[in-house]
């Protein structure tokens, strides 16, 4: 991509350089043509007025030069001068600036070297001619041939010195801009194509990075799923093998049966998570909405997690401040959302977790907050925490602790209820999730 960019830059540079050379050639070509035209018109007036050194008016010079420059598409600002190099010599110019630039210009022609032969069709009495007759004479006097002698020939034939020679010069101070304008369309097209190529290149890189990430996420998901399913299945198989023995005590039978039941529920819960997320993403999930008391739902979820809370020796603090926190929603899915948030807090807060569940009102919204005092989520993972299958871990930090679908499920359900969930990145003592309805 860098090579293409450098190649395009070189093309632009070469195009600009060639255009400048073309403009230089145009100026070198047109300068003697303008000088000839001015010489012809001056001789025409001289012939009519019988005054050998009468100069033409400045306005007429401007008109002649401007029309000839525009005919060559050289519309950029330019300056001209008719001058002699000798001290106190003639210097008539369209500007008071650039005298040295005009005298040393590479676009310069010797007016004194121009030889023009004119022929009059019939003899005219200039002394008696009227103004109307002068216009008619204009058609009877015509230049027949114009040529430019070399400077050496002019000096030799006319017996003039270098200082007496009359010159015509052009100066275009903005040739660079003139060349840029001439290739402007190609320049814009090149920039657009480069922008398009750069955009496609970036898009391709991002697509490849995303594909690689999805592949890694998929591998992690299957590895985690294998672990999540293997552990309860191993426990069920072990308990079943023990129960097959005939000499098992009744008290132990109950323990093993409870183990089988609990592990089966765990498996069922994991399968339900995957199926529910699949339904959400395929837009096939239907919500059975009814009036729900969120505070009652929170207390019910805590009761469902009672065994885990006791095993972890966790401290759950409730701060339910909203007086009437009732919304219309799906009881099962909203219960699962709160369950996922509290379960994650228990799972990732280390030993003896401390969890605070609060409800409060802010800016007309009713909010649920679930926060812990664990290690929190590293800054680099916070933007992707709600992505499907994403797990904020380094190496195998949380291996065997879920599929990475819990928070994506929670986000989907909350948004299906016209709510919003965020990770409070200003909370520094652990991790806080806030749901707003």
Domain segments of the chain as ranges: 2-182, 207-284, 286-436
Task: Tell me whether residue 31 is exposed, middle or buried, using C-beta atoms within 10 angstroms of its C-beta: 0 to 12, 13 to 18, 19 or more.
Answer: buried
Per-residue pLDDT tens digits for 271-311? 776 676 666 666 666 778 889 889 998 988 888 888 788 88
pTM, two decimals, is 0.47
Contact in structure between 56 and 42 (CB atoms under 8 Å): yes
Does position 161 have pLDDT exceeding 80, yes or no?
Answer: yes
Average pLDDT over residues 159-165: 84
Nearest-angstrom CA–CA distance, 405 and 391: 9
Contact in structure between 376 and 339 (CB atoms under 8 Å): no
**Backbone torsions φ then ψ of 289, nearest 5 degrees:** -90, 140
Please state which CATH number belongs to domain 207-284.
1.10.287.130
Q: What is the mean pLDDT of the chain?
A: 77
Rounded percentage of the chain residues whose pLDDT exceeds 70: 76
Long-range contacts, stretch 205-208, CB < 8 angstroms, 24+ apart: none
Nearest-angstrom CA–CA distance, 57 and 41: 11
Per-residue pLDDT tens digits for 231-256? 778 788 888 887 777 676 777 777 77
Architecture of domain 286-436: 2-Layer Sandwich (3.30)
Residues with Cβ within 8 Å of residue 29, at least 6 apart in sequence = none
Q: What is the pLDDT of residue 260?
A: 82
Beta strands in 86-151 (DSSP E): 91-93, 108-110, 114-120, 141-148
DSSP strand pairing (326-330 vs 365-372): unpaired
SS3 state at 357? strand
């Amino acid at each position: 991509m860098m090579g293409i960019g450098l190649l395009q830059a070189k093309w632009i540079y070469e195009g600009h350089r060639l255009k400048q050379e073309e403009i230089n050639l145009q100026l070198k070509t047109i300068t003697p043509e303008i000088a000839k035209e001015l010489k012809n018109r001056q001789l025409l007036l001289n012939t009519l007025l019988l005054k050998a050194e009468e100069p033409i008016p400045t306005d007429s010079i401007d008109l002649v030069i401007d029309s000839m420059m525009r005919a060559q598409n050289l519309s950029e600002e330019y300056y001209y001068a008719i001058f002699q190099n000798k001290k106190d010599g003639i210097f008539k110019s369209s500007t008071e600036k650039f005298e040295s630039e005009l005298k040393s210009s590479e676009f310069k022609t010797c007016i004194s070297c121009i030889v023009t032969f004119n022929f009059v069709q019939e003899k005219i009495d200039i002394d008696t001619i009227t103004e109307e007759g002068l216009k008619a004479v204009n058609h009877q006097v015509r230049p027949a041939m114009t040529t430019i002698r070399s400077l050496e020939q002019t000096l030799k034939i006319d017996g003039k010195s270098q200082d007496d020679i009359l010159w015509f010069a052009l100066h275009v101070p903005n040739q660079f801009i003139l060349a840029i304008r001439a290739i402007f369309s190609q320049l814009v097209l090149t920039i657009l194509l480069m922008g398009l190529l750069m955009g496609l290149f970036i898009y391709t890189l991002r697509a490849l990075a995303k594909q690689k990430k999805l592949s890694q996420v998929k591998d992690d998901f299957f590895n985690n799923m294998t672990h999540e399913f293997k552990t309860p299945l191993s426990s069920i198989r072990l308990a079943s093998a023990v129960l097959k023995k005939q000499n098992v005590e009744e008290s132990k039978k109950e323990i093993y049966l409870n183990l089988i039941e609990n592990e089966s529920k765990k498996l069922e819960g994991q399968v339900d998570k995957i199926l529910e997320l699949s339904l959400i993403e395929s837009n096939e999930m239907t919500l059975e909405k009814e009036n729900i008391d969120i505070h009652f739902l929170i207390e019910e979820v805590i009761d469902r997690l009672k065994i885990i809370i006791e095993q972890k020796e966790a401290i759950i603090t409730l701060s339910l401040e909203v007086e009437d926190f009732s919304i219309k929603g799906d009881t099962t899915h909203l219960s699962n959302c709160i369950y996922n948030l509290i379960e994650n807090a228990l799972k990732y807060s280390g030993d003896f977790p401390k969890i605070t569940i609060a409800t409060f009102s802010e800016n007309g919204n009713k909010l649920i907050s679930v926060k812990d005092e664990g290690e929190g989520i590293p800054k680099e993972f916070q933007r992707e925490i709600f992505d499907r299958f994403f797990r904020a871990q380094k190496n195998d930090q949380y291996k065997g602790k879920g599929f990475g679908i819990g928070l994506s499920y929670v986000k989907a359900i909350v948004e299906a209820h016209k709510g919003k969930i965020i990770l409070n990145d200003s909370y520094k003592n652990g991790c806080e999730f806030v749901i707003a309805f």
